[in-house]
Structure 1
């Protein structure tokens, strides 16, 4: 009986060993599958990293292109262009019934710039309203503050109330637009904006 029991126990042990061997085999297969999946993941990560690198290079190229074009626009819109645009605008508005005035005065006390200087202020009168206008190739935050000082100076020397202050420009910095909105200065960077702003 003991021998039979031992033989039965041995048989059960062998079955367990076979089951463990089978389980080990399945585990090894799973490990291989995980290793293969990991390898594919690493390849994907490398591909994504390469794509990200290419995207960053493309964005840098785009930024350089935009900067170049804006720089070209700024160069084209120099002082002479500002004068030409002002003269053309004056002619068009005068022909359509607007009164356009150009003040060139000597600010002897340095009210606008902090030192004595010549100040130029363009004014459009329409429907009984006075619009102070500034035409610039580009507008920065400091340009808006200077324009506000010009408006104050105009009121000081003429005693007239300003109904609207308008800056006309093809390029405006984001900070300049924020300051303009804060102080109710209208910035026109398109013909549509300009037409709407000067309408009676």
Structure 2
């Protein structure tokens, strides 16, 4: 048996000898590792200290379990995001919203409570209109012997008897705004409690008359620089197959039609 084999046998049978040797000569371990692994890949003492510091920094910067719970409380859930989206105003919504200036204009055009009360004072009561309708029906029954001027004069007298004074005015429409050619425009006007009411008295009313009446009102307001509160058309006959439809059309234009 060779010397190497005898030494190997002794070490295998007594491994504690190796422990004693490595303890006494630890540099042997580094020498072996240096042969197995390039020395530049081994961690030095400085590397280990640096790594230890970095681990400490990470530990200090890591959120604790309590901090994570607090963060979870502040995180918005998917359901909460959906609720928020519902309350967000989109660009399209902003386009459809009235501007501050538009709201102010709307407020200026709205009648105040006091103005509504004034309008109520100028409006004919249900009894007044009923009385007018009854009288117009009687006049209409005698229409064959009456001309339009007589009818107009009769209505003026009736209105005067109810306390409404009717004044006759004539404006010259040089631009032809009402009849599309220069002409004199006749008006029957009532002024009551500071409110101006236009009375249109005619022997018969057709659909085509409504735009003309509306333009008459607009011309008067422009020339006189006043606001006409109400427009009444008094007639014994609505010349149309559907009189109620004509009356509804007139109402849409701000015109009240009174007929039997």
- Unpaired segments ≥5 residues, structure 1: 1-72, 191-200
Report the Cα offset of residue 77 of structure 1. Answer: 6.6
Report the Cα offset of residue 90 of structure 1. Answer: 2.5
Q: CA RMSD in A?
A: 2.5
Cross-structure match for 2:143: 76
| Structure 1 CA distance for aligned equivalents of residues 233 and 180 of structure 2 | 22
Matched positions, count: 117
Q: Secondary structure at the match of 1:120?
A: strand
Cross-structure match for 2:258: 188
TM-score by length of 2: 0.41
Candidates 146, 152, 158, aligned match of 2:212: 146
Aligned 8 A contact 1:74 1:138 in 2 = no
Query: Which structure: larger Rg?
Result: 2
TM-score by length of 1: 0.52
Query: Cα deviations across residues 61-98 of structure 1 (Å, max 9, x unaligned)?
Result: xxxxxxxxxxxx699379x6321122223234345543
Q: Secondary structure at the match of 1:134?
A: strand
Candidates 218, 236, 251, aligned match of 1:170: 236
Cross-structure match for 2:100: none
Aligned 8 A contact 1:131 1:163 in 2 = yes
Report the CA distance shift for 1:113/1:100 in structure 2 as closer, same or farther (over 3 A).
same
Report the Cα offset of residue 112 of structure 1. Answer: 0.5
Aligned 8 A contact 2:203 2:235 in 1 = yes
